[in-house]
Chain A
């Protein structure tokens, strides 16, 4: 034993074990021995080369910086339209629409369950008229928009397409993203309407429609973000998200689509959480796994099908109501991890989001955080600067191995839809979430300002207060709309949609007809509820 080894053995440490925020044990030191199983050309390779562990572009951020896409929406379409104009003026390069709960759940503002919810967590969009207002003065042909919408994704997307058409934009060049990821709703966020199987049919209808008519649109953003926010570990986020992706591809193939016709338009959405290196390893592993799955499991020939593109958002769940300015620092570190992991676009949370939706000032500061990373830190000058680090490469490999083990388990159940029906991912997440909370309670994990470094005289900060006026305005608009639109045309298009839902025809053209007639989100979703029913989960604690 050398002197150095002897010293290492006897040196005392702060704790008996060191673990990531996900509970993964971390060694004192990683060395060349950790890379023994890793072959550079096979497992890592240069950026832009299969399996894209180091990134999908050979030039990284030297070619193009990530898109700084700030998620925003509240109140009426008029309120949110003004916020978008502020963000675009401040140098934001894409829009991202946050809808309120009634819209997300396919309910109009006059439904009893919408009580107190209209315009609260996002913007209320009930009909095409609201979508026209939301993008008033914003040329849809010149920007890209991301829309966080899932169960009623087809209806909201149809509204966007009709607004673009009215502005004279060409669907063939229109670009943006709809989240459209229903599996993670059943797993984590729980904003589902219809049961899993008809929900999957709506998604494959969108894949087919876009492959033909809106070829540059990202038809789905397969999301780990919400899985992580529900309390999963980093590994669970990675594994369940990619396995969801596999499920969508399989359903597309089973619906008769060619893999290379729709997979290049599938994108992903990951959380950027607090454990810096674990997050970076997660993104690198995600690219590698997807490349192999697409090439080997699905025999995709087009390299665009192999390349995993992803958006990321800093972890809302990590923000604290206590000492809210600390959240600026948390968000900056999380954003840096996403950038070092090669994110293609990024949303940074605002410091006040454990308390309310962000104020315009807080949202601007969050955007500035990204601009500082991009233009001052120097990290965007070289592609995958952490590539080759003993620690990062070993973590990346471990993440990959762990995800593949989860894939085996889920494949044995028959697929992700079956696994969800059994409550498997839900149970795994509930368990991880409770374990983490216990670690916080026991102070094994310290959250600054919450269970350590607590400050009694914490001064309150200004927050955005959303009153009830948005709900009143949206209710009045809905009432007026119902008087002015052509009721026969609405009735006919809704009946046609309901009848089409009983067949296997692609529903997008029917939905577009109903949207053009100014049918509401609630009316369109009700037509489908009539045929498919609503999903009710058995809660897993």
Chain B
């Protein structure tokens, strides 16, 4: 079986990338193929990267509060491209009240500050299936 392919993306205008980079390295160390998109990616660019990279997982790092705009747009685009089976997870600062809304549109997990990296690795290994 091929390795899981993960796109780590940083959407929006924010540049705080410590979390995105640390998790990218942790997933790589856990044996996954990691593609880090770099900063300021639009949902369109992220969906295109997922398609092009044949991603099994998309990890979004959002700290700025723009998740309510970015996540729904990305989920729509993934659907349009036939990528609805890609596992989408978000890490960052997300108010509790927004979590059910994000889950309802298909985001599978939200990891808040202080989440152990191993927990994220385990979640992805358990829930992502390599696309064929």
Give residues in A with beta carbon < 8 Å to B: 101-102, 104-105, 107, 112-117, 120-121, 185, 189-192, 229-231, 317, 319-322, 354-356, 430, 433-434, 437, 440-441, 447, 449-451, 460, 463, 465-466, 468, 536-537, 539-541
In the assembled complex, the Cα of A231 lies from the Cα of B67 at a distance in Å of: 24
In the assembled complex, the Cα of A463 lies from the Cα of B28 at a distance in Å of: 35
B96 touches A441 (CB 8 A): no
- The answer to the question of B93 belonging to the interface, with a C-beta cut-off of 8 Å to chain A, is yes
In the assembled complex, the Cα of A322 lies from the Cα of B114 at a distance in Å of: 8
Of the candidates A112, A114, A355, A434, the one whose C-beta lies within 8 Å of that of B25 is A434
B39 touches A190 (CB 8 A): yes
A354 touches B66 (CB 8 A): no
- The answer to the question of B125 belonging to the interface, with a C-beta cut-off of 8 Å to chain A, is no
In the assembled complex, the Cα of A116 lies from the Cα of B71 at a distance in Å of: 11
A sample of 12 cross-chain residue pairs with beta-carbon separation below 8 angstroms, ordered by A number, consists of A101-B13, A112-B42, A113-B40, A113-B42, A116-B66, A230-B18, A355-B93, A434-B22, A437-B22, A460-B96, A463-B96, A539-B36
B12 touches A231 (CB 8 A): no
Q: What 0/1 readout, one digit per residue, does chain B (19-57) give for beta carbons within 8 Å of chain A?
A: 001101110100000001011101000000000000000
B25 touches A354 (CB 8 A): no
In the assembled complex, the Cα of A451 lies from the Cα of B114 at a distance in Å of: 8
Task: Using A102-B13, A437-B22, A437-B26 as known contacts, say yes or no to A539 and B95 having CB atoms under 8 A apart.
Answer: no
B114 touches A356 (CB 8 A): no
- The answer to the question of B70 belonging to the interface, with a C-beta cut-off of 8 Å to chain A, is yes
B65 touches A541 (CB 8 A): no
B93 touches A539 (CB 8 A): no
In the assembled complex, the Cα of A102 lies from the Cα of B15 at a distance in Å of: 12
Q: Which residue of B lies closest to A357 (CB)?
A: B65
Chain B interface mostly helix, strand, loop or mixed?
loop
Chain A residues closer than 8 Å to B22, beta-carbon distance: 231, 433-434, 437
- The answer to the question of B103 belonging to the interface, with a C-beta cut-off of 8 Å to chain A, is no
Chain A residues closer than 8 Å to B24, beta-carbon distance: 541
B39 touches A537 (CB 8 A): yes
- The answer to the question of B100 belonging to the interface, with a C-beta cut-off of 8 Å to chain A, is no
Task: Using A115-B69, A321-B114 as known contacts, say yes or no to A354 and B93 having CB atoms under 8 A apart.
Answer: yes
Of the candidates A112, A120, A185, A321, the one whose C-beta lies within 8 Å of that of B66 is A120
Chain B residues closer than 8 Å to A450, beta-carbon distance: 114
Task: Using A356-B93, A451-B116 as known contacts, say yes or no to A466 and B18 having CB atoms under 8 A apart.
Answer: no
Task: Using A116-B69, A117-B13, A317-B18 as known contacts, say yes or no to A463 and B42 having CB atoms under 8 A apart.
Answer: no
Q: Which residue of A lies closest to B67 (CB)?
A: A116
B39 touches A356 (CB 8 A): no
Chain B residues closer than 8 Å to A231, beta-carbon distance: 18, 22
8 pairs of A and B residues whose beta carbons are closest in the complex:
A190-B15, A116-B69, A116-B66, A120-B65, A101-B13, A450-B114, A539-B38, A321-B113
Chain A residues closer than 8 Å to B104, beta-carbon distance: none
Give min CB distance, B43 to chain A, whole Å: 9
- Besides A120-B66, A434-B26, A437-B26, 12 more A-B contacts (Cβ < 8 Å) are A104-B13, A116-B65, A116-B66, A230-B16, A433-B18, A441-B118, A465-B95, A466-B65, A536-B38, A537-B39, A539-B17, A540-B21
Q: Which residue of A lies closest to B24 (CB)?
A: A541
Q: How large is the interface on B (under 10, 10 to 19, 20 to 34, 35 or more residues)?
A: 35 or more
A101 touches B14 (CB 8 A): yes
A116 touches B14 (CB 8 A): no
- The answer to the question of B105 belonging to the interface, with a C-beta cut-off of 8 Å to chain A, is no
A539 touches B14 (CB 8 A): no
A229 touches B16 (CB 8 A): yes
Chain A interface mostly helix, strand, loop or mixed?
loop
B26 touches A113 (CB 8 A): no
B118 touches A115 (CB 8 A): no
- The answer to the question of B1 belonging to the interface, with a C-beta cut-off of 8 Å to chain A, is no
- The answer to the question of B132 belonging to the interface, with a C-beta cut-off of 8 Å to chain A, is no
Give min CB distance, B74 to chain A, whole Å: 12
Chain B residues closer than 8 Å to A460, beta-carbon distance: 96
Chain B residues closer than 8 Å to A434, beta-carbon distance: 21-22, 25-26
A190 touches B16 (CB 8 A): yes
B12 touches A116 (CB 8 A): yes
B64 touches A121 (CB 8 A): yes
Q: Which residue of A lies closest to B37 (CB)?
A: A539
A537 touches B38 (CB 8 A): yes
In the assembled complex, the Cα of A536 lies from the Cα of B40 at a distance in Å of: 10
In the assembled complex, the Cα of A263 lies from the Cα of B42 at a distance in Å of: 41
In the assembled complex, the Cα of A185 lies from the Cα of B13 at a distance in Å of: 13
Q: What 0/1 readout, one digit per residue, does chain B (91-122) give for beta carbons within 8 Å of chain A?
A: 00101110000000000000011101110000
Chain B residues closer than 8 Å to A101, beta-carbon distance: 12-14, 64
Chain B residues closer than 8 Å to A537, beta-carbon distance: 38-39
Chain B residues closer than 8 Å to A230, beta-carbon distance: 16-18
B21 touches A433 (CB 8 A): yes
B114 touches A320 (CB 8 A): yes
A107 touches B21 (CB 8 A): no
Chain B residues closer than 8 Å to A540, beta-carbon distance: 21
Q: Which residue of B lies closest to A468 (CB)?
A: B68
In the assembled complex, the Cα of A354 lies from the Cα of B64 at a distance in Å of: 12
Q: Which residue of A lies closest to B116 (CB)?
A: A441
Give min CB distance, B53 to chain A, whole Å: 15
In the assembled complex, the Cα of A101 lies from the Cα of B65 at a distance in Å of: 11
Chain A residues closer than 8 Å to B97, beta-carbon distance: 465
In the assembled complex, the Cα of A101 lies from the Cα of B69 at a distance in Å of: 15
Of the candidates B12, B38, B118, the one whose C-beta lies within 8 Å of that of A117 is B12
Chain B residues closer than 8 Å to A120, beta-carbon distance: 64-66
A447 touches B114 (CB 8 A): yes
Task: Using A101-B13, A120-B64, A120-B65 as known contacts, say yes or no to A354 and B114 having CB atoms under 8 A apart.
Answer: yes
In the assembled complex, the Cα of A356 lies from the Cα of B97 at a distance in Å of: 12
Chain B positions 53-95 with a Cβ under 8 Å from a chain A Cβ: 64-70, 93, 95
Give min CB distance, A404 to chain B, whole Å: 27
Give min CB distance, B13 to chain A, whole Å: 4
In the assembled complex, the Cα of A190 lies from the Cα of B10 at a distance in Å of: 12
Chain B residues closer than 8 Å to A433, beta-carbon distance: 18, 21-22
